[in-house]
Structure 1
Amino acid sequence: MVETGDPSDDGGGQRGRQNRAAQRKYKLPTEERLTRAAVHYLDRYASSLENLRNVLSRKVKRAATANGRTPDEFQDIIDRVVEKCQRAGMVDDRTYAETKLSGLRRRGRSKRQIEATLAAKGVDRNLIATVIEQDGTSELEAALTYARRRRLGPWRTGGQREERREKDMAALCRAGYPYEIARKVIDAADDGEATSAAF
C-alpha cells in the first residue's frame, strides 16, 4: 500500500511550491540585472520591442511588489534597457515581423491570423501591413498548406470527405480564410487540382 502524505509536510506538491515562491526574495531591479534578463530572454526567443518591454515590466512588477515599491519607479530603467538592446541590434521589429510571418505562413496561417499575432506582440500596424504586402505567399497557397496539414478536403482520409465538407469549410473560415478560398480548397477534386489552383 502506498502512503500518501500531506504535500506541505515535505515541501512537495502545489502547497510546497507556493510556500517556496512566497519565501523567495526578489532583488530590486537595476539596469545591470534587467540587461542580463533581456539578453537571456533574447538569446532564447525572438521578440518585438514592445514584447521585450512587457517581459521586463512583468519582472519589475514582481520584484517591486515583493519589496513594497511601485513598478513605475523603474520605468526609466526598462526604457534604457530596451533602447540599449535595440541599438545593439538584438531586437528589431521589422526583422521580428518578417521572421514570424515566414514561420506562420509555413504553418498555413492566414493574413488575418498573422496580423492578430503580430499586433498582440506590439508590432506597429503600418509595419505589419508593409511586411504582409511584401510577402510572396498568396492566401490560397496558405489555405492549401493549412488544409494539407489538418487533412481537410482533398487530403481527408477514411472516405468521409462529403460528410465532413461543412466542418472542413468552417475550419478554414475560423482560421481566417475568406469563404471563396475555403470553398475552392475544400471542393477541389484532389490535392493536385487544389495545388494547381494556387498557381
Structure 2
Amino acid sequence: MPTRDSSANRRIANEPSCPVTSIDPQDDNPSSDTPPSDTPTARMLSWARNSAVYRLERQMMTEKQLFDAITRKARQKFEDISQEQLKAVADFAVKFAYDLNALNDADYAQVSTQSAVRSGKSKRAIAQKLSVKGIDRETAAVALEATDDLYAAVVFARKRGFGPFRRGVLDDKRKAKEQSAFARNGFSFEIGRKVFEMSSGEAESVLRKDAAT
C-alpha cells in the first residue's frame, strides 16, 4: 500500500532538475575590465597632468583658460574620447593644478590688471577682458579697486599722441577723433575731456605720481 506522501514523491521525482551554479560577481558586468565611456583612461589622466604642468610653467592662466586648453587639446589627441571623458580630464587637470598651488584666479586678476593699466587700458576694458578669461565679478572688482583710470588715460594719450602729447595742429576733425577714441576704449567722457585739456606738465605729473606709488 502506498504511503501518504508517495504521490508527492513521484511528482518531485518527475520534475526536471535545476542545476545549481556558482555566480561570478562580475558576470553581470561583462566589460568590468574596460572603463566605462565616461571614465578617463590612465593614459588620459597622465597626459592631463603633464599638459597642465607644461602650460602653467610657461604662463599664468585662469581656471577657465586651463580647462578650455585641456579640453581642446584632449579632443585633438584622443580621437574616440567622449564628452564625459573630456570634462573629467579637464576637471582632473584643474584640480591637479590647484593641488600644486599653480592656479589662483585672484592673483591672475591682480597681475593682469596692473599690467593692463600700465599699457593704458581703462577699467571697463580690463573688466571685459577678465570676464572673457573666466574671472568672476567679485574677484575682478577687488583687482580693479585700486586702479586709476586717469593714469591709464594719460598712458593711452601718450601712446596715441593725443591731448598733451599731440604734435600736430588741433582742428575740429582731430578733436572729434581724439575724444571718440577715449570713449571707444572705455574711458568716461569726464576722464577723456580732462586728459584732452591737460598740459604736458600736468600729464607728466600724473605719470610720475603713479610711478612713485
- Output the TM-score relative to the length of structure 2: 0.72
Instruction: Compare CA radii of gyration and give the structure with the larger one.
Output: 2
**Which of these residues, 154, 169, 175, is aligned with residue 165 of structure 1?**
175
Higher helix share: 1
1:182 corresponds to 2:192: yes
Q: Equivalents in 2 of 1:111, 1:155: separation in Å?
A: 22
Q: How many residues end up aligned between the 2 structures?
A: 166
1:105 corresponds to 2:117: yes
Asked if the contact 1:29–1:60 (Cα under 8 Å) also holds between the matched residues in 2, the reply is no
1:54 corresponds to 2:68: yes
Who is 1:74 aligned against?
Answer: 86
1:192 corresponds to 2:204: no
Asked if the contact 2:45–2:89 (Cα under 8 Å) also holds between the matched residues in 1, the reply is yes
Residue by residue over 1:98-127, the C-alpha shift from the partner in whole angstroms, topping out at 9 and shown as x without a partner, is: 110010011011000110111100011111
Who is 1:84 aligned against?
Answer: 96
What SS is found at the alignment partner of 1:30? helix
Distance 1:29 1:139, change over 3 A: farther
Distance 1:43 1:197, change over 3 A: closer
Residue by residue over 1:50-96, the C-alpha shift from the partner in whole angstroms, topping out at 9 and shown as x without a partner, is: 111011111122234xx233232232222122111012111110111
Q: Equivalents in 2 of 1:197, 1:41: separation in Å?
A: 38
- Alignment root-mean-square deviation, CA: 2.0
Q: Equivalents in 2 of 1:69, 1:96: separation in Å?
A: 31
State the shift of 1:177 in Å.
0.2
Asked if the contact 2:70–2:93 (Cα under 8 Å) also holds between the matched residues in 1, the reply is no
Q: Equivalents in 1 of 2:170, 2:43: separation in Å?
A: 58
Asked if the contact 1:29–1:63 (Cα under 8 Å) also holds between the matched residues in 2, the reply is no
- Structure 2, unmatched stretches of 5+, are 1-41
Q: Partner letter of residue 73 of structure 1?
A: Q
Q: Equivalents in 1 of 2:194, 2:77: separation in Å?
A: 53
Task: Please list, as runs of the form range in 1=range in 2, the aligned pairs for 1:8-47 lying within 5 A after superposition.
Answer: 30-47=44-61
Q: Partner letter of residue 85 of structure 1?
A: A
- Output the TM-score relative to the length of structure 1: 0.77
Q: Partner letter of residue 50 of structure 2?
A: R
**Which of these residues, 166, 170, 180, is aligned with residue 156 of structure 1?**
166
Q: Partner letter of residue 114 of structure 1?
A: I
